[in-house]
Amino acid sequence: MNVEHDTRTRILSTARELFHGRSYADVGIKEICDLAKVQKGSFYHFFPSKQDLALAVIDDMADDWAHGFVAEAFDQNLPPLERLDYMIDAAYYWQKAAKDIEGRMPGCLFGNLALEISTRDDVLRAKLNAVFDKASRRFHEALDQAVELGEIPPLDSEATAAAMLAFLEGIILLAKTRNNPEVIRDLGPAIKTLRIELAHPN
Amino acid sequence: MNVEHDTRTRILSTARELFHGRSYADVGIKEICDLAKVQKGSFYHFFPSKQDLALAVIDDMADDWAHGFVAEAFDQNLPPLERLDYMIDAAYYWQKAAKDIEGRMPGCLFGNLALEISTRDDVLRAKLNAVFDKASRRFHEALDQAVELGEIPPLDSEATAAAMLAFLEGIILLAKTRNNPEVIRDLGPAIKTLRIELAHPN
DNA sequence: CTTCATGTTGACCGACCGGTCATCTATGAA
DNA sequence: TTCATAGATGACCGGTCGGTCAACATGAAG
């Protein structure tokens, strides 16, 4: 039982690493199998297709996020606005560590995949959409709490949350293009200045 | 002379369209040649490699940008802050038009390519970097003028300009993932709220 | 008429792509 | 001891990948 799952897990984590570090199209199944020390036939025993593998990889990474530093960043005990700084910091240190080890910034797996395949694969696009929605909800919640505590004036918290997520993805994109994680630290703090006012009720 | 350049131009515009609508890896040279009605041998007469084609495509698109709506948006006669709105509007209408025609949002060619290949190809990454730098300078200039005119308090205009570019790329990424250009119109205006203060001189 | 540069043609290359399949092995329940 | 099931193996498939090449067309300069 442990052995069976081990093969699947090895495939999953290898694929995740390769997809993140390069791209979906650029990584072949053979390469994944070789690195994971799995035979091709075994691969297709666990995953019906490359698309299914991608779906599983997205789920895997999203789970790790949700239980990892995202859970820490959006800890309910942290003051709402500090969670934003925490999130930026986490992104920075993660990307910096990756660059220090491999020499290049992988960026955000979800953002990478989204831009690469969302015009070609609606299933994967929908999956990534759901991941972004969930992330957006974290920002949303933090903003609502900040308003409740009187830390910021009322605002369109749902739209602002989406804008913050977009900004986060944007600075990671720019940092990756510059291959310089410091971009995240330099621009990131501006996330707290983003504001979308509530629409006029009349 | 016109005929010779015509072949090259046909390859270039076909490749640009396909790369933009799908991705770099997903579009083969044969497909480009077929659509452009060019023989493969002819292709390699004009472009030594697929990488060289990509470089030319980036240049081509950057030129069209610079002389097209970016020139309009950053028109010196426009009040600096209105240029930001103009830029957002232009992005929105472009993406909306593309989606209405083809059913899907292509996003930003530069952003797409940046995330797809900047970990694998330093030459292309550098090229895209230069494009982003140039775009950032437009924002920078607009911000400096806005400060000069007293429209906004002094700020770190260079960093804020980069943040604005990142935000623009971010909302296009999010809109593409949602396959909904309205995201650009809904979140875009928040670009004017972005601010990075000048660092303390001591 | 020859020469040369610029383009064009389409067959061809080895490598790799995602995916299939028949065959074998290990395990555990009946 | 038998049998079913889960998993592992590696050869194999048609198709596509980026790229090469020798032969040929065209047109202007000498």
Q: Looking at the complex, does the CB of residue B58 fall below 8 Å from at least one CB of chain A?
A: no
As a whole number of angstroms, the distance between CA B127 and CA B11 comes to: 20
Poorest-pLDDT segment among A155-164, B19-28, B192-201: B192-201
CATH 1.10.10.60 placement within chain B: 1-48
Contacts of A54 in chain B (CB under 8 A): none
What is the four-CA torsion angle of A141, A145, A147, A152, rounded to 10 degrees?
A: -90
pLDDT at B73 > cutoff 80: yes
B109-168 pLDDT per residue, tens: 999 999 999 999 999 999 999 999 999 999 999 999 999 999 999 999 999 999 999 999
- pLDDT score at B37: 97
Percentage of chain B exceeding pLDDT 70: 97
- pLDDT score at B3: 42
pLDDT at B23 > cutoff 50: yes
Three-class secondary structure assignment of B119-143: CCCHHHHHHHHHHHHHHHHHHHHHH
Classify residue A4 by its DSSP letter: H
The predicted complex's ipTM stands at: 0.95
In chain A, residues 155-174 whose CB comes closer than 8 Å to chain B: 159-160, 162-163, 165-171, 173-174
- pLDDT score at A69: 81
The answer to whether domain A1-48 has CATH 2.60.120.640 is no
pLDDT at B45 > cutoff 70: yes
Strand D contact with A9 (CB < 7 A) = no
- pLDDT score at B121: 98
pLDDT at A3 > cutoff 70: no
The fold adopted by the segment(s) A68-193 is Tetracycline Repressor; domain 2 (1.10.357)
Nucleotides of C under 7 A from a protein CB: 6-12, 16-22
What is the four-CA torsion angle of A68, A126, B132, B130, rounded to 10 degrees?
A: 90
pLDDT at A43 > cutoff 80: yes
Q: Which residues touch strand C (CB under 7 A)?
A: A 27-31, 40-41, 44, 48-51; B 3-4, 7, 38-42, 45-46
CATH 1.10.357.10 placement within chain A: 68-193
Strand D contact with B2 (CB < 7 A) = no
- pLDDT score at A196: 98
A73-121 pLDDT per residue, tens: 899 999 999 999 999 999 999 999 999 999 999 999 999 999 999 999 9
Mean predicted confidence (pLDDT) in A182-191: 98
Inter-chain touch B160–A190, beta carbons under 8 Å: yes
Percentage of chain A exceeding pLDDT 70: 97
- pLDDT score at B5: 74
The pLDDT confidence band at residue B197, using thresholds 50, 70 and 90, is: very high
Strand D contact with B50 (CB < 7 A) = yes
- pLDDT score at B2: 44
Mean predicted confidence (pLDDT) in B88-117: 98
